[in-house]
Copies of this chain bind each other. A is one copy, B any other.
Amino acid sequence: MDYVYGPGRNHLFVPGPVNIPEPVIRAMNRNNEDYRSPAIPALTKTLLEDVKKIFKTTSGTPFLIPTTGTGAWESALTNTLSPGDKIISFLIGQFSLLWIDQQQRLNFDVDVIESDWGQGANLDVLESKLAADSNHTIKAICIVHNETATGVTNNLSTVRKLLDEYHHPALVLVDGVSSICALDFRMDEWGVDVALTGSQKALSLPTGIGLVCASPKALEATKTAKSVRVFFDWNDYLKFYKLGTYWPYTPSIQLLYGLRAALDLIFEEGLDNVIARHTRLGKATRLAVEAWGLKNCTQKEEWFSDTVTAVVIPPNIDSSEIVRRAWKRYNLSLGLGLNKVAGKVFRIGHLGNLNELQLLGCLSGVEMVLKDVGYPVKLGSGVAAAAAFLQNNTPLIPSRI
């Protein structure tokens, strides 16, 4: 394996996969088990119950699908919709683009509302489309809560408000891949019908579980949804839920125990404290970017993301060189700019199981790399700005008071 070893810890600041906490690595350090013994269903039962809490739902039905975020997308769409169905989808960055590509390849009639990369979903256009759709031809609204490519957070409560205002029955399908467990997400309150995330994001696990949660309305929609689906079919799961054996096919034993540990850590910290920590680290990152004299790819404060910050660099510098050099010299992993913003931005992921000093270490590394590539940053400036905020706002670790 070339290119691997570097002294000390890797500083992992891509927006996924993220750092796995040691207790979770430990929990997954195990042999396989018979998933048909009484042990695995007993474990699964607690997981399904507790996973609902991170979606903030009591009425939803969760599915832990052995897949990635891309598979979770497909599961959300094919279980609730039929080919030809008209859906609205917002194109605001690479991941919403990929989801739209999937929607089109699954043969939905996708009405794309596009924004500049760096802007949020254009909800004014949504409103006008809802207003015009008195026949309710729009079957679903597909929206990413947080666009990982640009660091833009969309306003989901407004989406709900608009649908309510126009008494529109469209389903709301939300990609919460880089938001759930990190940003404030409220499935029931916001009337989200399908929400999804991947285990390797804010849950801080390895890749391998697509977590999908369906509202009662979404479950109802499966009865008429004609999209072809087998592996991703929720009904196969529901059948086994009823039997109490839970699994239509073999789950990863290791990830189930890992998820148990991950949820335990989140509940020990408190989900609201977890979210507050993300708010804090997001704010600190943005203060550093500002101190460096650089621009956030996100164009307005209302869309600022607390899980990923895309930093725009001057045109004379190639952001890929920043990412490359960070890894080669400082063992720091940053996110590349993707597609339209390739070479123009680099990304700092600040989600998952992460603390203040890890972030400040990352920021100090970014400063050194910026200087390496010729950007005239004042070393220490971003760290100082972030630390000034963090020193005022970081609570004592509750379990250590």
Contact of A365 among B198, B360, B397 (CB under 8 A): B360
In contact, B252 and A37 (Cβ under 8 angstroms): no
Binds B, one of A28-36, A139-147, A161-169: A28-36
Q: Determine whether A299 belongs to the interface, using a CB cutoff of 8 Å to chain B.
A: no
A268 proximity list for chain B (CB < 8 A): 5
A301 to chain B, nearest CB (A): 24
For this complex, into which size category does the number of interface residues on chain A fall? 35 or more
Contact of A250 among B5, B17, B330 (CB under 8 A): B17
Q: Write out, one digit per residue, whether chain A residues 1-32 have a CB within 8 A of any chain B CB (1) or not (0).
A: 11111111111101011111111011111111
Which residue from chain B places its CB closest to the CB of A258 in the assembled complex? Answer: B254
The distance in angstroms between the C-alpha atoms of A105 and B361, with both chains bound, is 46
Contact of A384 among B9, B12, B107, B379 (CB under 8 A): B379
Within 8 A of B (CB), among A331-361: 331-333, 335-336, 353-358, 360-361
Which residue from chain B places its CB closest to the CB of A268 in the assembled complex? Answer: B5
Binds B, one of A50-58, A66-74, A85-93: A66-74
A34 to chain B, nearest CB (A): 4
Within 8 A of B (CB), among A242-284: 248-255, 260, 265, 268-269, 274, 277
Q: Determine whether A328 belongs to the interface, using a CB cutoff of 8 Å to chain B.
A: yes
The distance in angstroms between the C-alpha atoms of A23 and B227, with both chains bound, is 43
Q: Determine whether A125 belongs to the interface, using a CB cutoff of 8 Å to chain B.
A: no
A225 proximity list for chain B (CB < 8 A): none
Contact of A331 among B30, B73, B274, B355 (CB under 8 A): B355
The distance in angstroms between the C-alpha atoms of A357 and B7, with both chains bound, is 11
Q: Determine whether A122 belongs to the interface, using a CB cutoff of 8 Å to chain B.
A: no
In contact, A397 and B328 (Cβ under 8 angstroms): yes
Known: A8-B353, A70-B249. A33 touches B333 (CB 8 A): yes
The distance in angstroms between the C-alpha atoms of A358 and B365, with both chains bound, is 10
A71 proximity list for chain B (CB < 8 A): 66-67, 231
In contact, B34 and A12 (Cβ under 8 angstroms): yes
The distance in angstroms between the C-alpha atoms of A203 and B75, with both chains bound, is 28
In contact, A388 and B399 (Cβ under 8 angstroms): no
A312 to chain B, nearest CB (A): 20
Binds B, one of A111-119, A303-311, A366-374: A366-374
The distance in angstroms between the C-alpha atoms of A394 and B156, with both chains bound, is 45
Q: Determine whether A136 belongs to the interface, using a CB cutoff of 8 Å to chain B.
A: no
A to B CB contacts below 8 Å, 7 in the list: A7-B265, A38-B327, A329-B397, A357-B362, A364-B364, A368-B390, A372-B391
Interface set of A (CB-CB < 8 Å, partner B):
1-12, 14, 16-23, 25-39, 42-43, 46, 66-71, 73-74, 83, 102, 105-107, 198, 200, 206-208, 227-233, 248-255, 260, 265, 268-269, 274, 277, 327-333, 335-336, 353-358, 360-362, 364-365, 367-368, 371-372, 378-381, 383-385, 387-388, 390-391, 394-397, 399-401
